[in-house]
Structure 1
Amino acid sequence: MSPWQLLQAAIATLIIWLASLLPPRIASNTGSLLIRKIGPLLHWHRRGMANLLHVYPEMSVKDRRNIMRGVWDNIGRTIGEYGCIRKVGPSVTVSGLENVPPEGTPVIFVTAHMANWEALAWFSRLCGRQLLDVYRKPNNVYLNKLLEIRSKGLPVTMVEKNNKSGLYLLRKLREGGAINLFVDQKGTRGDYLLPFLGKNALTIRAPALLAAKTGALIIPGRMIRENNHNLHIKIYPPLRKSNEMDDLEGADIMHEVNNIISSWVEETPEQWLWIHRRWKNAEIKS
């Protein structure tokens, strides 16, 4: 493991430890203050600016910078709040619980990296169902270990995305379980190529495939940040259901999911993680 990765993990550990000592609002404000200064100096800032230009070619540089300023503010608050997530969690509110079916009905919640996406871990307690939260393992083994330690005691079961996780999720859904999938990151070779914010992007097919094999409902849900510190989860009605889904129907379902998430991003662009390589298949210079 490289010295740089070790340094990354050491810095992250220090920040999270310091944040854990602070009240949530102070941790959030401190994280915002720091990351708003540091973020624009990083290569991720250039990527975010390039992504905004790709999606909104007519947008001025000033407007793109303003959005990215909000993005770094949100990321900083999320980092600060993550350090004291056990204090933040109980204050999270939720609406749309009438759209959540009772225990025993298989459900796939589809969501995005918006507002404080880490606080979605508290949705399991709010909706009364045990959730499996699928995550992508960081390349930095030290950071991954830190995340594993921090996730202990949270009201959600973390499932690492790997070559065995698909079968595990399939079994859990057939048993009537509920899973949470982030679907706003770039898919892989063999996934669907569908519009996202009006531009073609590789889109994961897992939600559609799992729903077709298990009869699970696909339910969109997102985190919203209000007045800097208030975190609210909004759950939407289930998408149409099909147990006989072919590849074309699966693409239609994920197209609908992309449209829903795109509408969230357009509503609060500063709360989405624009620094992802979401359109890596497209010609974006970053």
Structure 2
Amino acid sequence: MEKARFKKTPFHFMQYAALKTFCALFGLLPYKTAVWLGRKATGAVRFVMKKRFERSVYDIRRAFPQMTPAEARAVALESWRNMGGILAEFIKLTRMTPEEFKKHCRIIGAEKMLNAQGHTGGIIHIGHFTNWEAFGLAGAIYGVDKAVLAQRVDNPYVDEETNRLRNIFTGRTFYSNNEDKPFFACMRWLKKKKMLGILIDQNAGSSEVWIPFMGRIAAFSPITALLAIKMQVPVFPVRVWREKDGTIVSEVMDPVLPPKEYSMENARQFTKTLVGYYEDWLRANPGSWLWAHNRWKREAEGEAYLKNHPEERV
């Protein structure tokens, strides 16, 4: 079934051709003009995808009950505009030399990852904030030998192109929705004392743990916690934001050490600790997160599960 889902079709190729044309046109524009236009374009998409936009507003109001309706809509609009900014930045940044790239992106604390590389290795704990893809590119430019765990895009042509650009400055990708389970591939990578980037702030479709997130139960993948405990490697939270001039800044925070004992209870507790970083970043800058994703679509399922398994509530 998964193979059929990712099979190439003529429609997929037409989508890919349109995207390549779009990227080529954006590539001709000055950096700031491209970002401005990208933000305007995805901001306007809210008029086409009204239900999805209203879902974003609803989720924001649930997460921040102190906000007025107008404030929640402003946060949602900034989040949607950010998607276009991400795309434009990604297109432009992948066409730059490392010297040009560093004028637009920088990393604070990169030495923490570089010191771990070759000694302990580690997991990069990042989320869908500001421009997470820019951090992945920047890590490679700063000398981090990293891989990322990502979901495969349904359109295989787009997926191949995204993967090529994501690793254009070196790196590799493991797929979480591949027919081959990624856990052991990630273990082998970490065993080489390298860095592995994982984002767990989107809904987990299976093998989940139920964790409170911004006041509501959400399904999280425990893979970061399980890998960190199993391999006894540190986890490096990474926060990403933009300066007023548009510079994308990533801060590598101090490493978080996992529990010693490998168990699901420890994995749940450690996942809750990692989710706490997401909550802190969200409260600091609500509009920087990807609210278009229906993060709490399994909330009712999670509440029902925890009602029957109260020992797993964290």
Same fold (TM over 0.5): yes
Match of 1:205 in 2: 222
Report if the CA contact (8 A) 2:233-2:257 is conserved: no
The equivalent of 1:151 in structure 2 is 166
The match for 2:116 is: 102
Q: Which one of the candidate residues 139, 146, 158 is aligned to 1:124?
A: 139
Rounded to whole Å, the distance in 2 between the matches of 1:243 and 1:63 is 44
| Structure 1 residues 88-237: aligned runs within 5 Å | 89-91=101-103, 92-100=105-113, 101-104=115-118, 105-125=120-140, 127-151=142-166, 153-161=168-176, 162=178, 163-227=180-244, 229-237=246-254
* Contact kept? 2:38, 2:85, Cα under 8 Å: yes
Distance of 2:47 and 2:17 partners within structure 1: 21
Q: Report the Cα offset of residue 228 of structure 1.
A: 5.7
State the superposition RMSD in angstroms.
2.3
CA distance in 1 between counterparts of 2:245 and 2:289 reads 14
Q: CA deviation at 1:107?
A: 0.1
Displacement after TM superposition at 1:2 (Å): 7.5
The alignment partner of 2:206 has SS state of coil
Q: With the length of structure 2 as denominator, give the TM-score of the two structures.
A: 0.82
For residues 30 and 247 of structure 1, the distance between their equivalents in structure 2, rounded to whole angstroms, comes to: 46
Shift of residue 54 of structure 1?
3.0
Would the aligned equivalents of 2:259 and 2:270 in 1 still touch at CA under 8 Å?
A: no
Secondary structure of 2:258's match?
A: coil
Superposed, 1:31-42 pairs within 5 Å as: 31-42=38-49
In the alignment, structure 1 residue 52 sits paired with structure 2 residue 53:
no
SS at match of 1:84: helix
Q: Is the 8 A contact 1:133 1:179 kept in 2?
A: yes
Change beyond 3 A, Cα 1:136–1:56? same
Unaligned 5+ runs, structure 1: none
Q: Cα distance 1:283–1:45, how it changes in 2: closer, same or farther (>3 A)?
A: farther
- Contact 1:223–1:233 (CA under 8 A) maintained in structure 2: yes
Question: What is residue 12 of structure 1 aligned with on the other side?
Answer: 19
- Counterpart of 1:276 in 2: which secondary structure? coil
The alignment status of 1:255 with 2:272, answered yes or no, reads: yes
- Counterparts of 2:86 and 2:245 in 1: how far apart (Å)? 10
> Looking at CA atoms only, which structure, 1 or 2, has the larger radius of gyration?
2
Residues 124 and 155, structure 1, Cα contact 8 Å, conserved in 2: no
Size of the aligned set, in residue pairs, is 284
Offset of residue 149 of structure 1: 4.0
Q: 1:233 Cα deviation (Å)?
A: 0.5
Alignment match of 1:23 (pick from 11, 18, 30): 30
- 1:259 and 1:102 map into 2 onto residues whose CA distance is 23
Aligned 8 A contact 1:53 1:59 in 2: yes
The CA distance in 2 between the partners of 1:222 and 1:41, in whole Å, is 31
| Contact 1:129 1:178 survives alignment (8 Å) | yes
Q: 1:63 aligns with which of 71, 75, 81?
A: 71
Identity of aligned residues (%): 21
AA paired with 1:271?
A: S
Question: Is 2:296 aligned against 1:279?
Answer: yes
Given candidates 264, 267, 271, the residue that maps to 2:284 is 267
Which segment is superposed worse, 85-94 or 59-68? Answer: 85-94
Per-residue CA deviation, residues 6-40 of structure 1 (Å, 9 max, x unaligned), is 55434432222211222221211111122222234
TM-score, L = length of structure 1:
0.90
2:91 corresponds to 1:76: no
1:40/1:257 CA distance change after superposition, 3 Å: farther
Distance apart, 1:182 and its partner CA: 0.7
Which string of whole-angstrom CA distances, capped at 9 and with x for unpartnered residues, describes residues 42-64 of structure 1?
14313312322332345332111
